[in-house]
Structure 1
Amino acid sequence: MNPLLIPSPSTGKAHGLRPRIEFLPLKRRNKEIGNLTKKRQRSNRFRRRTNNNDASPHLVVNLSSSPLSQAETSLLSKGLKFCPTPPEVEQIALSQDLSTFYRGIRLKEFFLDEPPSDPEPFYRKSTWTPAKNRVPSLETQEQGNRSDIIIKPANKGSAVVVMDRQQYIDKAMKHLNNRSHYALLDSDPTCNFSLQIQSTLNDMKEHKHLSEKAHKFLSPTNAKPARFYLLPKIHKPGNPGRPILSGNGSPTENISLFVDYHIKPLVSRAPSYIHDTPDFLRKLNDIKDQIPETALIGTLDVSSLYANIPHDEGIQASREALTASVHSSPPISDIKSLMSHVLTKKQLHFHGSALPTDIRHSNGHPDGSFIRLSLHDQAGTADETHFLDVTVQKKPNGITTTLYTKPTDTHQYLHSSSCHPRHCKTGIAYSQALRLRRICSEDPDFSFHTRNLQKHLCARGHGARAVQLAINKVRSLPRSEVLKPKSNKKTTDRIPLVTTFHPNLPPLRKILCDNHHILHTSDRLQQAVPDTPF
């Protein structure tokens, strides 16, 4: 068992300047962790009063015939990302996280003398751990369930949707009964699909087009059918469902990652590619002075785009794009074969039925396009349109932009009482205000939407003063600065300690920093772990 670095209680201080370190087995480690996890109590005088009656009827959309109790509605109104605070730290989980952290240090030391090399993008993660006692200093210092309803997030707008189970099944079967795209099968073809994919991978390995690690990673193991589910579109009449196919564990899961890895760079090279809202705003800013007064602005939407792309034509288009990019390895013919497997071997399970499907995957925003039409000598104008979360307006002084939200948007931000790290909650106001600063080209629009933002966040339990401070901080930033693309994040070789958050966790970061000098008593560990973990 790995020890835990814990200051000894005999020093008389929780964290002295030079505390004596005890190295404990797992059983005693859990006990010491429990001693360090003291509840942080605050006086009622300074405790923020929260509004317990925050179950707005717009936050929970009950489409089912079963009424929800007040407690159920109150819980669901906090959002599907809300985490209730456990009464105690899960000490077993924390010990497992610490063991993973210690393994990272051992691996860094074990491979210290290996020459640096770029890791392969496709490989199965190993669970091997170097033997102990290689470096002495490292070893000595170290709601109730309900079956009658289905709860899903809304496709757009962040609301929580409650549906009758049978109603949900009926909506799903309406999609699956479309025999143009789905067919009911007599047996599960998962094993046959896995064998066909494996044969292609074996050929690639035999011709030296795949490394041993990549071949092992891509090979389907214990595969299972994909799972079909719906996200309700409450912003449309009749609340239709958006079909989603979860391919986790399916035969094509890993080869789809391989195909995506090689064709994804091609997408950003397309002239029509829009990465996200900031990218769209930058492109719009570049052409805003080129739009004539007679121009009409609008958007195009493609109905059932994925299902209407013929497989052969889609594969051929990808092949031509790869050829134009001077792609060399692996051969384009191999990528074409794997792409064919991804598109044609997508069987799914729903409500006990196995069906094949031809749902496609894509990148960027292929189902919508922003267009600019220049029309002359025609009556009528189109002065406003919506694209992504932006409203584009044509005014006498030029093109302006402001925020667009769907009428069904519930603004269900993370609740302030959710068991998340503090910075995750305090950063919401700043990040959302920064988003508004980018989108709103005129200050009056920015002021209007930030007032609404403050109202929505306060309704979720966030402090009005903290929200206002974040908004004022963003208000001082020039819009031209916040529209600039972010620089690439710097990579780091530091070892992270990842654990499940709890407000009563001991100060792990301080403990690690205070005792990091112990690792540096070994020359090898000083080279392997020069910086403090994070």
Structure 2
Amino acid sequence: MEASNILRKTESKLLGERIRQTVFTLGVIKRQCEELETTIRSQVSRDLANRLAEVVERSRESEHRKCKMRQVNKYDRLREKSSPVLDTTLSQQLERWVVNKSDRELNDDEKSLLAKGMNYAVSPTSIPTIDLITGVELACNKLTDKTEKDQVRAEAVKVIGSSHAPKSNLTPGERKAMKDLRTDESVTILPSDKGRCTVVLNTTDYKQKVDDLLSDANTYTLLKRDPTRKYKEQLRGILKRLCDSDRITKAQYYLLMPSSDTVPRFYGLPKVHKPLCPLRPIVSSIGSVTYQVAKFVADIIALTGLFTNTPVPDALRVIRRRLEEDVTLPDRTTLSVDDVMELLTFCATSTYMMGLGKIYQQREGFAMGSPVSPLASNIFMEWFEVRALDTAPHVPSFWARYVDDTFVVIREEYIDEFTTHINNISPTIKFTMEGEENHQLPMLDTLIHRKDTGSTKITIYRKPTHTDQYLLMDSHHPLQHKLGVIRTLVHRAESLVTEEEIKSWSLKRSRKR
């Protein structure tokens, strides 16, 4: 009770001090305005001075009304936060945004923090002065004029010196929760595989699920030693030979040469919509030996797509044929087809990773997480679908594919026969079929409805796992990133939805996000 009284008295004193400071500031501004008005009246005619005064007064009144309306709206929102209806809505949102499958009991601050999402950027508590100075020096190194360098440095010093850390976008309770959760090794926090919710697992359960994945002898092989150094030396030899023969430049050589011994990292994302919450295997190859080379080759073959079960030997044969037929290849690179295939084969066969402190080799398919894998796989899938359709006993009247999702229109009596046919093209590429229900079928983020008249309409499709969570506006991201989220939602509604009434509803929903 005594502590509460002390807190109330402190709050009252702070509020009084804030009011006193505001009154003082207003007095200073008023005197400055009077001095400025006197100066203006001494330099212009009376009529012009009076007209200027009228314009300034109207502008002041307009700004006063806007400011007052903002404050009233802010007050109303603060009142709504204490209402039972909003509390219920917030509680329901927290249940959708935070899935706790651990033994740890989360408090309100921890739930509020985790509900912000794994893409939420916490505002820094101080200006990153060293990082800013480093960036300025890197930029100055590209300048040749010493005077210009000095001007840039002086301006940077001025800006950094006058800068202040941004206002915290976390409450004190949320900052404490972040520290507590970060130091609690008994739980592992991950984004869900789908739906953008945050999942809390017991670390022992997570490690067991990862171990179950890596124990699949048909997919992964445990290695006795780390092959990073071996791959690094092999790649160094390939790049040196290409550089010495002027097929890549010195700059490309140093860019592609691996500078670290980072091992690709294996982890899993929980599928909370499935029983027992299995993991989807993911590999992060950023910074690995083959990462820069894979990006380099990906730019050369310049396609898009993803299919992790792609048979590597078949895909490499298809890609070689495509490159040999590509008359524009010399416009994109000085490398020959053999050079590109050598680099691609090296990336495709360097399929090792670290999981739970051990090194494993992926037995089949292109390396997960490599920038070139989606592109190479898509080339193979293009060949696959052409062959499947050309040899089909009954060709669908419509076939559209994006990555590994296809939308097919075919007579009902031919469905089983066609499914069997395409599943016999390759031993590793298998399709499953989902038929329409209630005259509608989802495809990516659209829902295609078949009308009684035979025509179709398209609406936005949201999976049952969808949580309506996007990038929060108070996240410490550039404003353009946040506006980009809104533009994307609006663009989707305007470009995909076919009927105006539903389009209008979708746009209103986008604005509420």
Matched, 1:366 2:366: no
Matches within 5 A, 1:11-160: 45=72, 47=74, 49=77, 51=81, 54=90, 56-86=94-124, 89-100=127-138, 103=140, 107=142, 110=144, 132-133=146-147, 143-144=178-179, 145=182, 146-160=184-198
| Aligned counterpart in structure 1 of residue 497 of structure 2, from 423, 426, 440 | 440
The residue aligned with 2:450 is 394
Structure 1's 168 and 196: CA in aligned 2 closer, same or farther, altered over 3 A? same
The residue aligned with 1:203 is 241
Q: Report the alpha carbon displacement of residue 226 of structure 1 after superposing the two structures with TM.
A: 0.7
Matched, 1:306 2:308: yes
Between the aligned residues of both structures, percent identity stands at: 25
Q: Report the alpha carbon displacement of residue 346 of structure 1 after superposing the two structures with TM.
A: 2.3
Q: Deviations over 1:106-163 (max 9, x none)?
A: 735x3xxxxxxxxxxxxxxxxxxx7x34788667777122211111111221111111
Q: Which of structures 1 and 2 has the bigger CA Rg?
A: 2
> In structure 1, what is the Cα distance between the partners aligned to 2:149 and 2:448?
63
Task: Indicate conservation of the 8 Å contact 1:252/1:346, yes or no.
Answer: no
| Aligned counterpart in structure 1 of residue 351 of structure 2, from 346, 355, 358 | 346
Q: Deviations over 1:171-218 (max 9, x none)?
A: 212221111221111111111111122222222223322221112221
Q: Report the alpha carbon displacement of residue 66 of structure 1 after superposing the two structures with TM.
A: 2.2
Q: Deviations over 1:210-246 (max 9, x none)?
A: 2211122212223221100111222333322211111
The residue aligned with 1:415 is 472
Could you state the TM-score of these two structures normalised by the residue count of structure 1? 0.60
Matched, 1:250 2:284: no
> In structure 1, what is the Cα distance between the partners aligned to 2:245 and 2:148?
40
SS of the residue corresponding to residue 221 of structure 2 reads coil
Q: Report the alpha carbon displacement of residue 256 of structure 1 after superposing the two structures with TM.
A: 0.7
> In structure 2, what is the Cα distance between the partners aligned to 1:339 and 1:252?
10
The amino acid that maps onto 1:225 is: V
Greater helix proportion? 2
Unmatched 5+ stretches in structure 1: 1-12, 14-40, 111-129, 268-272, 274-303, 458-534
Matched, 1:228 2:304: no
Structure 1's 425 and 139: CA in aligned 2 closer, same or farther, altered over 3 A? closer
Task: Indicate conservation of the 8 Å contact 1:385/1:392, yes or no.
Answer: yes
Q: Report the alpha carbon displacement of residue 330 of structure 1 after superposing the two structures with TM.
A: 0.8
Task: Indicate conservation of the 8 Å contact 2:231/2:350, yes or no.
Answer: yes
Q: CA RMSD in A?
A: 3.4
> In structure 2, what is the Cα distance between the partners aligned to 1:87 and 1:206?
50
Q: Deviations over 1:50-90 (max 9, x none)?
A: 64853521111112232212211111111122233445544
**Larger relative contact order, structure 1 or 2 (CA cutoff 8 Å, min sep 6):** 1
Number of residue pairs the alignment of both structures matches: 357
The amino acid that maps onto 2:142 is: L
Could you state the TM-score of these two structures normalised by the residue count of structure 2? 0.62
The amino acid that maps onto 1:258 is: F
> In structure 2, what is the Cα distance between the partners aligned to 1:230 and 1:381?
31
> In structure 2, what is the Cα distance between the partners aligned to 1:254 and 1:100?
21
The residue aligned with 1:316 is 317
Task: Indicate conservation of the 8 Å contact 1:385/1:393, yes or no.
Answer: yes
Task: Indicate conservation of the 8 Å contact 1:62/1:163, yes or no.
Answer: yes
The amino acid that maps onto 1:372 is: V
Unmatched 5+ stretches in structure 2: 1-31, 33-66, 157-177, 379-401, 416-434
Q: Report the alpha carbon displacement of residue 255 of structure 1 after superposing the two structures with TM.
A: 1.3
> In structure 2, what is the Cα distance between the partners aligned to 1:71 and 1:140?
43
